[in-house]
């Protein structure tokens, strides 16, 4: 699965514009007054202003074996989130390592270095090292019916996790990180998992879909039907 475009909500559009554009140095691709967009490798990230917006979890794929470079780069730009003092998190079952940080809305952002993808590092770590948006958190009341829907409509399988309170659906290019909003919090800081609303333009094999999560309901539309 590939996340081509992710649209989320923010309480302060211009503060996010400054952080993603100036602090992280992303290329801005759109500014329509009430929404802004940025390029993240092969993906687009859009923000729309909504005063009741709640936080998200978003992950970005970076080159393999560059978590230390990512950490050094990030320390100068944002608060690094830790687990028991560790700044780099080792996910052995995923063959990946990650660093986490907050944006101004307390969205939990993750740079994840997946060994299996074999992405080659450039000379310096920076915005050009961001390959694509690879994860978006999907906090739901119950995971099994969500899995059944996504498996039936998109053919998504479980990449990792049980169906009780955590299940990553998709593949290393793109994952929906499904968690039980009542039974699990966001790693690594234990923040509450809100049913934060979003929209995706995603590709599965040769087909594209619009995926919306609104009012705790999932809607999937084939882009060409």
Q: What is the pLDDT of residues 136-189, one digit of tens each?
A: 999 999 999 999 999 999 999 999 987 789 999 999 999 999 999 999 999 999
**In this structure, what are the phi and psi dihedrals at residue 45, rounded to the nearest 5 degrees?**
-115, 120
- Could you give the number of structural domains in the chain? 1
User: 94: domain CATH number?
Assistant: 3.10.180.10
pLDDT at residue 224, rounded to an integer: 80
Tell me whether strands 132-140 and 174-180 are parallel, antiparallel or unpaired: parallel
Domain extent, residue 86, equals: 2-222
- From the list 95, 108, 223, 106, the residue with the least C-alpha distance to 154 is 223
Where the chain has pLDDT below 50, the residues are none
């Amino acid at each position: 699965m590939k996340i081509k475009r992710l649209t989320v909500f923010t309480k302060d559009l211009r503060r996010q514009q400054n952080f993603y554009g100036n602090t992280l140095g992303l290329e801005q691709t759109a500014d329509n007054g009430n929404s802004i967009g940025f390029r993240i490798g092969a993906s687009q990230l859009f923000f729309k202003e909504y005063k009741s917006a709640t936080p998200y979890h978003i992950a970005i794929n970076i080159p393999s074996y560059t978590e230390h470079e990512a950490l050094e780069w990030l320390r100068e730009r944002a608060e690094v989130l830790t687990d028991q003092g560790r700044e780099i998190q080792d996910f052995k079952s995923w063959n990946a390592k990650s660093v986490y940080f907050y944006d101004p809305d307390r969205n939990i952002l993750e740079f994840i270095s997946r060994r299996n993808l074999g992405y080659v590092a450039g000379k310096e770590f920076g915005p050009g090292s961001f390959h694509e948006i690879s994860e978006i958190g999907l906090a739901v009341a119950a995971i099994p019916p969500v899995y059944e829907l996504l498996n039936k409509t998109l053919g998504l399988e479980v990449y990792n996790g049980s169906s009780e309170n955590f299940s990553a659906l998709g593949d290393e290019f793109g994952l929906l990180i499904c968690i039980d909003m009542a039974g699990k919090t966001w790693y690594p800081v234990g923040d509450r998992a809100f049913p934060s609303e979003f929209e995706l333009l995603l590709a599965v094999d040769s087909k594209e879909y619009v995926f919306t999560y609104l009012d705790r309901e999932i809607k999937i539309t084939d882009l060409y039907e």
